[in-house]
Amino acid sequence: MKVKVDGEEKNVHTLWREGSNVKLIDQRILPHRFEILTLKNHRNTAEAIKIMILRGAGAIGVAAGYGMAQAALEAKDLTMNEFEEYLNESADRLRNTRPTAANLFHAIDRCLAAGSTGTVPERVEAIVAEADNIAEEDLEASQRIGEYGNTLIENGYRILTHCNAGALAFLDYGTALSPIRHAHASGKKVFVWVDETRPRCQGARLTAWEMEQEGIPYALIVDNAAGHFMLRGEVDILITGADRIAANGDVANKIGTYEKAVVAKENDIPFYVAAPRMTFDFKSRSGDEIEIEERGPEEITGMWGVDEAGEACRVEIAGEGFNVRNPAFDVTPARYVTGFITEKGIIRPPFEENLRETFGG
């Protein structure tokens, strides 16, 4: 990902591993400040996932894999029984951070499987290697998604996206934003409608920031304006990411995705979901079986920003004691999805059959 820091352009990943440390961009303070944090152990990494220092299905999955690598390195001098106990406790700690994104659980399970045999040193080495493999696969998948998704974008297209499924949500490129990056790099003229994405405003804070870094034309809009521009014929395609996709093609993604998909279908606008294999959950037969995370009321009743002096501050926008419901995700039924943009290509209906055929679910 290209990032301008103090007037200098740099290439940086969203997160990476340096020995037993995990380095990552602090997404809570973007777009006002750019800082790299160091997480020294798996507990720090679990907390970073939980409080959303990083977010996005791919980034969460990579972080969980790195967290398992940290746990293995922390336990490398223990006996076999102690090592297994420590690893399982660490896995549970990471699992309990956030419930919806499939990548997190796949990464933990893969690391546990990789470290299931051999001596303690052999298991540590295998877990660390598997965590690195997950990161490399994430990077390659997002690149491939961009290449396949670029074939869907014509010159002059106006693209609507929701939340942030860009480089900040993966190691680089992203999912929904990867086709846009590739289209822009190939010389196509594209324009992006960026939903603000309340309540945490990942569109306003993160997607718009990524567009600025890449020099891709865009306009930031309030969430409720998307239908207005669709009705006016100013949207050619809708592309989002996903946090978990059921076996039948139902999609769990950031709250508000469902209503965008319904309005897109009403206006004959194609809706594509960009996601790698790690986001598909074939154990969930439909979206009804996906756990939807509900977060605290403070995300809705107040907002963080910077004041005129450039200092971070929080302002309250609702009355004290107001009743709040805050689901972080919703489920879009498969009937509203035109196709899935994956590292294996574009997958179209019938989804249950074609997804399993593609991924062997």
Residues in CB range of 19: below 8 A, 6 or more apart: none
What is the side-by-side order of every strand in the sheet holding 251-254? 280-281, 244-246, 251-254, 329-332
3-state secondary structure the chain: CEEEECCEEEECCCEEEECCEEEEECCCCCCCCCCEEEECCHHHHHHHHHCCCCCCHHHHHHHHHHHHHHHHHHCCCCCHHHHHHHHHHHHHHHHCCCCCCHHHHHHHHHHHHHCCCCCHHHHHHHHHHHHHHHHHHHHHHHHHHHHHHHCCCCCCCEEEECCCCCHHHCCCCCCCHHHHHHHHHCCCCCEEEEECCCCCCHHHHHHHHHHHHHCCCEEEECHHHHHHHHHCCCCCEEEECCCEEECCCCEEEECCHHHHHHHHHHCCCCEEEECCHHHEECCCCCHHHCCCCECCCHHHHEEEEECCCCCEEEEECCCCCCCCCCECEEEECHHHCCEEEECCEEECCCHHHHHHHHHCC
Q: Cβ distance 168 to 56 under 8 Å?
A: yes
Place of tokens 């870094």: 213
Q: Which residues are part of the catalytic machinery?
A: 243
